[in-house]
Structure 1
Amino acid sequence: MRILRCAAAIVAVVALTGSVATSAAAVPGADRSTVHQAMRELVAAGATGVQIRIHDEAGDWTGSAGVAERDRTEGVPTDGRFRVGSITKTFVATVVLQLVAEGRLQLDDPVHRHLPEFGLDPRITVRMILQHTSGLRTHTTEPKPDGTFEPGLIDDVERTYLPADMVRFVAAKPLKFEPGTNWAYSNTNYLLAGLLIERLTGTPYAWQVYLRIVAPLGMWRTELPGAGREILGPHAHGYMDFPDDDATLVDVTRLNPSFVGASGEIISTTQDLDVFLAALQGGRLLPPALAAAMRDFRPVESIASYGLGLSQFAFRPDCVAQGHNGRMPGYTSQMYGTADGRARVTISVTEGALDPLSGAFHASVARLLFTALCGPVGSGMPTAGTWWPIG
């Protein structure tokens, strides 16, 4: 297994057409042709594969396009496992809010009160780390306006990193802005959230996610792997193009996810994520007041806004999406439902020849998400560059 030492690619993190597979559970007569077309276009643009699950008034439906592995013919499994990336943040935020409901802390508590060892600015609150308004930088590399990246801590995704070490690295740096005065996405915020869960419960944060979410909802194909490198069971492979590598594409399916930890380590399936999103939207995981706090969205870019571990895109007045997206090397994921509960969509894209930071990639994934949630693109999809991405 070659060592991957491209920090910019970590955070940012030959077109294969394949066939489009559809689920036998699709409702007879349901028109999914526009979704089929959007999947084909994504694969034709350079993604290795894609799988999708839709729940709407027409019923439950799954589909896939492309191949599970380059240079092989097997299609992408519609029940395959994948790295969900920052969708992990929605799980972690839910657990923190459950602890608030139990009276173990308050959203406006200074994080320093519970985790004094990091010397954090005492103005940084629990709410701020969940909403990315803390001003803390990120332990992974940060994009700059000119398209280059500021150095981060992560230089080797084969290494096992400890969250406390990554937090100390960031805590020693100047804040990006005064706490609470602006918004900037930082993976380190959620490392702190994970450590906060551990300090308050005396158990690993992953255990709390299992105890409070995974087990009660029967999400048995969801895993928090820690430093485990494998994706067990059926799965599609993800690839990245490293500029300093002789190979065109590198298979990055197997890696040590400890560099993201509570900010992005979860492995799951579209079905499990749909179960989680349905429970979250249906009020099964949080009391009403804290569910409302989670949806106290702050505008961050164009039609995008961010709550507490939850993002929102107001595509159209009749199609407002709430959920989270995510990236890990080789994988891009989406988990969104309309605010009115009409539809839910979960997507995993396995990356390939198309640069996942490019506008073309964002536009192709955005087209698929918009089509699945809101209908044909001709009905008013905003330009992807004006709202993509959040995380």
Structure 2
Amino acid sequence: MKALAVTLATAVALTGAPLAAGQSATAKPPTRDAVQRALDGLVGADGFPGALASVRQTDGRTRDYTSGVGDLRTGAKVPVDGRVRIASNTKMFTSVVVLQLVGEGKVDLDAPIEDYLPGLVRGDHWDGHDITVRQLLQHTSGLPDYDDLVTDLLDIQHRYWEPREMVDAALARTEGPGHGEWSYSNTNYILAGLLVQKVTGRPIGEEITNRIITPLGLRDTYWPGVGDQEIRGAHPHGYHKNKPGDPWTDVTVMDPSMGWAAGQLIASPSDVNRFLTALIKGRLLKPAQLEQMQTTVDAPGFDTRGDAKYGLGIATFTLTCGGIAWQHGGNSPGYTTVDAVTTTGKSATIAVTALPTALEQVTRLENALDAALCR
């Protein structure tokens, strides 16, 4: 949906409505705002099939945007505030559940994961006795990532994965980042999801739903069930190519199990904003646990700005207008999201319907997020 001023100007031109007092017949129409210009650039210059965004002000007022097409075959428009696979944004939800359990006295952040998942992390190079719950959530466990074992995403589009398969694939590796050093690894959050299930006796998707989605009234956010490869409700199609120059392949229908507690959720941009605002305002965590979540370490490479710091499932994002916001974001075949919330509660989420293929595209996505929060 275009900026309100542009929409109104177009309506006036089509209906022949009279000019406002003092308005010149040759006056230029209002320019598109920064967010719309950024989305149009992501589609036009960067070549993403579609883009959508939602910006939520501190008072709850929300403006939604779209650009491009939602279906390359039919040319259908991108649905306003449509649902997308939010991928690694799921980590924020998983971390919140773990921290809620900490606040309930059921989990100790600095206890070894061996206490909760005995015998699971074992091998010549990895030992659950030496890895704490905090290190899982902060990506300082030293565990390797299972995600980069896949060389062709199209080959696994419809493959179902059990969480233990992904853990076993990671632990079979003989090399990983140094223990205690920050290094992003999806394996950490698969283990965090298994920890939640062991402590609560319930599925991680159910815990996320009952503890976060339902209380916040996130009507467009849900955990896909086993075997659910569709995206319910209004959504743009997602596309993928293995390398530049390849034709687009529609990957809207896919099995999300490879993400699981690290990246399985589906949501709309406005729902992500509502979650972020509720989180930063203390509606989901007790003050002590929110403080722990926002206690950070340097996270080189988390974003293109190079100065991000990572807490427990959330990271800092430096704003050009001053200060920081709290961010995460996610990448899944067919969808990329960037999102953040300021310390005052203003939030923005931007999604495009393909993965970036160049660093410059990632930079422009981040610049679009900055524009949404600083405009």
| Interval of TM-score (by shorter of Structure 1 and Structure 2) | 0.7 to 0.9
Residue in 2 that maps onto 1:314:
318
Aligned to 1:242: 242
Q: Could you tell me the TM-score, scaled by structure 1's length?
A: 0.81
Q: Which amino acid aligns with 1:222?
A: T
> What does the per-residue CA deviation read over 1:21-47, in whole Å, with 9 as the maximum and x for residues that have no partner?
3479x999x986121111111110201
SS in 2 for 1:54: strand
Q: Tell me the CA shift for residue 365 of structure 1.
A: 0.9
Q: Retained in 1: the 8 A contact 2:153–2:333? A: no
Distance in 1 of aligned mates of 2:161 and 2:198: 19
Q: Please say if residues 116 and 198 of structure 2, whose CA atoms lie closer than 8 Å, have aligned partners that are also in contact.
A: yes
User: Which residue number corresponds to residue 112 of structure 2?
Assistant: 110
State the Cα distance separating 1:56 from its structure 2 match. 2.4
Structure 2 residue identity aligned to 1:350: T
Q: Distance in 2 between matches of 1:124 and 1:175?
A: 16
Structure 2: stretches of 5+ with no match in the other structure = 10-29, 301-305
CA, structure 1 residues 151+183, in 2 after alignment: closer, same or farther (shift >3 Å)? farther
* CA deviations over 1:339-390 (Å, ceiling 9, x no partner): 233x210121112xxx613023112212211111123xxxxxxxxxxxxxxx
CA contact (8 A) 1:153 1:169 kept: no
What is residue 157 of structure 1 aligned with on the other side? 157
2:99 to 84, 97, 100: 97
Stretch of structure 1 that moved more, 229-238 or 72-81? 72-81
Q: 2:25 corresponds to which residue?
A: none
Structure 1 segment 274-293 matched on structure 2, within 5 A: 274-293=273-292
Q: Secondary structure at the match of 1:116?
A: coil
Deviation at 1:98, TM superposition (A): 0.3
Aligned counterpart, 1:347: 350
Q: Kindly, what percent of the aligned residue pairs are identical?
A: 37
Shift of 1:175: 5.0
What is the TM-score when the length of structure 2 is the normalising length?
A: 0.84
Cα 1:131–1:67 shift into 2, 3 Å? same
1:62 to 42, 61, 64: 64
| Cα-to-partner distance string for 1:280-323 (whole Å, 9 max, x where unaligned) | 01101000011011001111122211110001112347241202
Among candidates 132, 135, 144, match of residue 128 of structure 1: 135
In structure 2, C-alpha distance between the alignment counterparts of 1:92 and 1:57, rounded to whole Å: 25
Aligned residues: 341
Distance 1:70 1:178, change over 3 A: same
Whole-angstrom CA distance in 1 between matches of 2:8 and 2:288: 36
Separation in 1 of the partners of 2:133 and 2:31? 44
Following the alignment from structure 2 to structure 1, what is the Cα–Cα distance between the partners of residues 8 and 200?
44
Are the equivalent residues in 2 in contact too, given 1:270–1:346 (CA < 8 A)?
yes
- 1:193-212 superposed matches below 5 A: 193-212=192-211
Amino acid at match of 1:107: L
C-alpha spacing 1:56/1:187, structure 2 compared with 1 (3 Å)? same
Q: Equivalents in 1 of 2:244, 2:360: separation in Å?
A: 22
Corresponding residue for 2:340? 336
Pick closer, same or farther for the CA change 1:84–1:141 going to 2, 3 Å.
same
Aligned to 1:21: 2
Distance 1:107 1:228 in 2: 33
Q: Verify the 8 A CA contact 2:239 2:252 in the aligned structure 1.
A: yes
Deviation at 1:238, TM superposition (A): 1.1
Alignment partners' CA distance in 1, 2:315 and 2:247: 34
Moved over 4 A (4+): 150-155
Q: Deviations over 1:38-71 (max 9, x none)?
A: 1111110201111111122684211111111114
Higher mean C-alpha deviation, range 267-276 or range 198-207: 267-276
- The SS at the match of 1:345 is strand
Shift of 1:272: 1.4
What one-letter code is carried by the residue in structure 2 that aligns with 1:118?
L
Instruction: Provide the residue aligned with 1:324 in structure 2.
Output: 328
Residue 76 of structure 1: how far off its partner (Å): 1.0
Name the counterpart of 1:216: 215
1:220 alignment partner, SS class: coil
Taking the aligned partners of 2:209 and 2:369, their CA distance within structure 1 comes to 28
Change (3 A) 1:289 1:213: same
